Amino acid sequence: MSPSDPETSQSARVRVALLSITAGSTILGLKYVAYRISGSTALLSDAYESIVNVVAAVFALGAVVFAGRPADRDHPYGHGKIEHFSAAFEGGLIALAAVLIVYEALHALINGPDLKPDFGAGLALNLAAGGLNGLLGLYLLHKGRRQRSRALEADGHHILSDFYTTLGIGAGLGLVMLTGLKWLDPLIALGVGLLLAWTGFKLVRESSAALLDQEDPATLERLLGVMNQVRTPDILAIHELRTLRSGRYTHVDIHIVLPEIYPIRLGHDLAEKFGRDALEAAGIEGELHTHVDPCAQLFCPRCPVADCPIRREPGGATQALTLEEAVSPGQA
């Protein structure tokens, strides 16, 4: 997937972020009206979460714009890490909303809920707003994955969690209408607050892992799979496979082992082609840097060069690359 693809262009990411802000603001307005109509603490908690959605969408827009800047001398790996900051910031906002919701819920439990006569109309309006939220969340999640934007993907996950929360609130408040047990309203809000606290914690944890360059096993497995497909037999082994995610870009470093009798030009061309083919086959947008190591006569059983003058033992049997070997420091 090339950077020039209209589905992955910077302008497309900005348009999606702007749509998220506009739609989120509209949904927030509907939920606030629903709360004013009903007086429900649970619906107030839903409105609080929508405030987080809008603020996070604004921050995501800034992150998307900044991440789109090309790499420069001061930022050789680009500016994509800002998207992970955006996701962590959103996680912090969710945690803050959780604190406010728990406070309001406990206050209502102690002092008694104040549900209004038009409670049912407010609930219906909130459910309609929640339906729009669900569509928005699915759209952002799809576009975030398609465009490899961590900020948009995190925004989509959060909005979808908001949608599921709205459904839960709707079911709980429906029970309030059927039973007349008004104390269920703040109890539902308390549950929403605790759920949001967990969501915010997970988002901060995942974003922190990305900021600390924690290795992604799924990316390594995907790369290794395509490397086994595109390698030529004279790539005897690989080691020190490393990846670094910066926004939508993935930077890969790898050492490849070639027969040491190969001239420099041949080794360079093999390494360059191997890197290009591996990234293209894996569908990864980024770059792959290769370092060529000589075989040091340690891989003779794998070597296809029949007339090698320094061969120690017969060989020619190509072996599949393994993840354990690929990430190891290597032998050569």
- Residue 273 CB neighbours (<10 A): 13
Q: Does pLDDT of 1 surpass 50? A: no
Could you tell me how many residues make up the chain?
A: 332
CA atoms of 288 and 248, how far apart (whole Å)? 14
Q: Does pLDDT of 5 surpass 60? A: no
Terminal Cα distance for the chain, rounded: 34
Q: Does pLDDT of 8 surpass 80? A: no
For the record, the structure tokens of 209 come out as 């892992």
10-211 fold: Alpha-lytic protease prodomain-like (1.20.1510)
Q: Does pLDDT of 42 surpass 50? A: yes
CA atoms of 301 and 102, how far apart (whole Å)? 66
pLDDT in tens, 226-240: 999 998 888 998 999
Tell me what the mean pLDDT of segment 105-112 comes to. 82
CA atoms of 173 and 35, how far apart (whole Å)? 12
What residue ranges in the chain does DSSP mark as E strands? 237-246, 249-258, 286-294
| CATH 3.30.70.1350 residue window(s) in the chain | 217-326
| CATH 1.20.1510.10 residue window(s) in the chain | 10-211
pLDDT in tens, 126-135: 899 999 989 9
Q: Does pLDDT of 2 surpass 70? A: no
CA atoms of 258 and 199, how far apart (whole Å)? 48
* Residue owning tokens 């809000």: 189
**Chain mean pLDDT for the chain:** 84
pLDDT recorded at residue 66: 83
pLDDT in tens, 43-78: 888 888 888 888 888 887 888 788 778 878 888 888
CA atoms of 48 and 166, how far apart (whole Å)? 12
Q: Kindly report the pTM of this predicted structure.
A: 0.68
Going by the DSSP 8-state scheme, the letter that residue 5 receives in this structure is: S
**CATH code for 217-326?**
3.30.70.1350
pLDDT recorded at residue 274: 92
pLDDT recorded at residue 255: 94
Residues forming a β-bridge with 253? 242, 289
Percent of the chain at pLDDT > 70 equals 96
- Chain centroid offset of residue 268 CA: 34
